[in-house]
A and B are shown apart, each in its own frame.
Chain A
Amino acid sequence: AQTVTQSQPEMSVQEAETVTLSCTYDTSESDYYLFWYKQPPSRQMILVIRQEAYKQQNATENRFSVNFQKAAKSFSLKISDSQLGDAAMYFCAYHTGNQFYFGTGTSLTVIP
């Protein structure tokens, strides 16, 4: 069975500091994508970053980067220079074939 695990229900970070959110997944597939989505209190889910499984290079989008360890099935999100607007629920997600799996989320608080 394919599952996505986020072991940190809540995290906090001081404004301008760096925080890392953890995600592990379980799969027997070789071809898949991994995503981090952000869901602010207004509820609309927004894509933060995505990673193709066949690419060894870690994806980066401005202040957001991932540490993709395929053998360990780990996909963590690093947020640098945290801003107040980064406060939200963050979901790790996995896509293979015609199936999508999301983790249970990490609630990130940014402290001014």
Chain B
Amino acid sequence: ETGVTQSPTHLIKTRGQQVTLRCSSQSGHNTVSWYQQALGQGPQFIFQYYREEENGRGNFPPRFSGLQFPNYSSELNVNALELDDSALYLCASSLDLALGETQYFGPGTRLLVL
């Protein structure tokens, strides 16, 4: 059984650029959630995808967008990068959408915006 993987592991961008982060969910999981974790903080929920549709969204602007593919892998896209977007971006997959379903986290992508 393959766990949740994310790519790239590290990324450096400049303000105003666009970035795409990728996540492969654990085998058999159809739900993917994305989180932003600033240094020294807890993860902040960005959004969740279930069977290729956005199912829920946290308090993030529209320049944060996502996709989920038929194989349930997912992308997080951030446009017009700002310095405050520098953070660890975590992807988590779960077997289903049910309340309380266990989330399995990937190792994260560290984004630095200069």
Contacts and interface: CB of A to CB of B under 8 A. Distances in A.
Contacts of A43: 88, 107-108
A104 B48 contact: no
Given A98-B48, A99-B56, A46 B100 contact: no
Interface string A90-112: 01010111111111110000000
A100 B41 contact: no
Which of the four size classes fits the interface of chain A?
A: 20 to 34
B106 A44 contact: yes
Contacts of A95: 99-100
A84 interface: no
Given A97-B56, A99-B58, A100-B33, A47 B42 contact: no
A42 B105 CA distance: 12
Most chain A beta carbons < 10 A, residue from B33, B35, B100, B108: B100
Given A32-B99, A47-B102, A91 B42 contact: yes
Contacts of A44: 105-108
Which of the four size classes fits the interface of chain B?
A: 20 to 34
A68 B101 CA distance: 19
Interface string B29-47: 0000101000011111100
Given A45-B92, A97-B56, A98-B55, A105 B99 contact: no
A50 B100 contact: yes
Interface in A38-59: 42-47, 50, 52
Given A31-B99, A98-B55, A45 B90 contact: yes
B7 interface: no
Given A32-B99, A52-B100, A101-B45, 12 more contacts: A33-B100, A42-B107, A44-B106, A44-B108, A45-B105, A50-B100, A102-B35, A102-B42, A102-B43, A102-B44, A103-B42, A104-B42
